[in-house]
Each structure stands twice: as C-alpha cells, then as structure tokens.
Structure 1
Amino acid sequence: MRGLFLFSIVIIIIILKMFVFLNVIEPEIFTGGIIAILLLHSKLFLKINVYKLALIILLPMMFYNSLYPFEFIENPYKKFVWIPFGEIFTPDILQTLRTLSYKFFVYGAIIWCFYKSYPNAKWIIYILIAYAGLIEILQHFTLFRIGGLTEILIVILLYNFLPRETANFDLKTEDKSAIR
C-alpha cells in the first residue's frame, strides 16, 4: 500500500511540474523519482543513516546548482556584493524570491541533516559557513552568477533555529521524591 502511495505521489508531482512550469519532463527528475521509490523499498535505509545519505546527495547538488554552467572568467568590472540580500533589489522580484526560497530550503535541509547526523557537534556551523563562502567566492568568478554574503547569512540564520540543548532526565540520579 505504501509503495502505491509513493508511486502515485511521484507521478502526480511530475505531471504537475510538467503543466505548471514546462511542457517537458527533464530526464533527471523522472529518473530521480523512480530511484527514490526504489531506494525506499530497498533494505538500504535499515543499514545506513538516512541523514548522512541525504547529505551525500544535497552537498554536491547545491554546489552544482550554485555554479552552473561552470563558465569561469576573470572580470575586473564584476563587483562582489557585500550587502547581504542585495539581490533582492533587482527588477525581477519573482525570480529573486524563487532563488531565495530555494536557498533557504536547501540550506535548511543541509543544516538539519548535519544536525541529525552529528547532534552534539559544534563544528557544523564552521563547515557550513566555509562551504557557503566557497560557493559565493566561486560565483564571483562565473559568468552569470553574483557572489555575495547572502548564502553565508542564510546559513547563520538557519543554524540559529536549531534546538540547542535537550533536557536529559535520568530518574536514577534525580530526586525520586519529586516524582511522587
């Protein structure tokens, strides 16, 4: 029953994407949906950490999407945007909102997967700031992308929404008279 539900959801999403955005279905979206269904039915998720697998997929995907089409040039007239969210002030506000929503969603997923994979690690924020900074620096040298501080600020903002310390109560060391 679960397999039929997942299969129908993937087919519905692919059809909706075809009608809402474009008249074609990209091969990577179709094969990605089929691979996701096959992975969910395999025993793979019983053996590995799902969050680490998601990181293996999300980190290169974000890097690829941020630098595509990989046309690097040295342009002395191209400016690095030092004002965070400076790209909001462009004439095409719909495209800007789509890009910012994408960045918030993907960086949020990456931060959440890191947090669930390594819950007590303090180095997560430093790795993600370096990752976002590397992407922004490389975007400065691409033909069509604009490098700036936006992605670094998005990482910092989203990281601050993570739950900090969880309360661990051990009934053996606590005062049992308070429980009665």
Structure 2
Amino acid sequence: MNVLFLLLFMTTSAFALNIGVIDSEYIFSQYNKRFEMEEKLENKRLELNSEIEGLRQSLLEQEKIIKSNSKITEDDKKKLLDLKKQFQEKIETSERVFQEDQQNFIYDIKFEIDSVAILIGKQKNLEMVIEKSATIYGGVDLTEDVLNFLNNKESYKLDTTNLLKKQL
C-alpha cells in the first residue's frame, strides 16, 4: 500500500507544472508607455480634426462663392462636387489611419507585456506563463514584476524583442 501511494505521489508531482500568471489588463492599464501613446494618439486626432476642419471651411467658402453667382455653371457644380468628395475621402482616410495607429499601439504594448512576462518567467524557472483570468487556482503571480519591469526607467528603454531572443 505504501509503495502504491509513493508511486502515485511521484507520478502526480512529475506532472505538476510550475506556472506563472499575469493580469494583462491590469498591466496595460498601469503601464506608463500607454499614457504616452494615448497622448500621441490624441495629438494626432487633434491634427487630423484640424485638417478636416480646414477642408470643411474651404468647402463652405467655395460653396458660398458658387451659390452667390447668378448663374451656376457645370464647372462650378463639378468643382463643388470634387471638394465634397475630397472632404469625404479625407474623413474616411483619417479615421482609417487613426484606427490603424490605435491597433498598432495596442499590439505593440501587448507584445511588450507578453515578452516581459516570458522573460521574467524564464528567469524564475517557470515552465509556463498564462493569463490570470484563465486560472481558477494556483500559479505564481508575475503581474507586479512585469509591471515594475515595464515601468522601470532603464528597462523601459530596452528593446524587449532583443532581450527575449537572448533569453530563448
């Protein structure tokens, strides 16, 4: 009986994994670089809005000029239509570019969080790092370690991609 218990204990402990967990959403919400990136995005949005407003004002001025003429020519109609089309294209292009920049920013930060989690997991000899919300019980919480690494002024400037390649 004792031999069977010892054998069972040894096989289950052989399958036990040393797992790290992180709360990515929390890290994202507290990461200093996120605030800088949001400020850059907001500045870009203001710049795009300013360009769009300039086009809108130009369109309104041209529309006033054309409508003030006693006779509106086909060229005037075409010019007005072209201005409206340019205005609409600028709005669509600006929205698309802004959304792409926003997605790239989120992807870059997510990649940094994941890279640092892997790096710290390897330093702590963990076999796996997973999202904290996917666990019910257990795991070594690396959330604060990852956040501290990312917000550290010295490591903040490091290229996590190259760091990770060196560790792997």
| TM-score relative to the length of structure 1 | 0.22
The structure that is strand-richer by fraction is 2
The structure that is helix-richer by fraction is 2
Larger RCO (CA within 8 A; separation ≥ 6): 2
Could you say which structure has the larger radius of gyration? 2
| TM-score relative to the length of structure 2 | 0.23
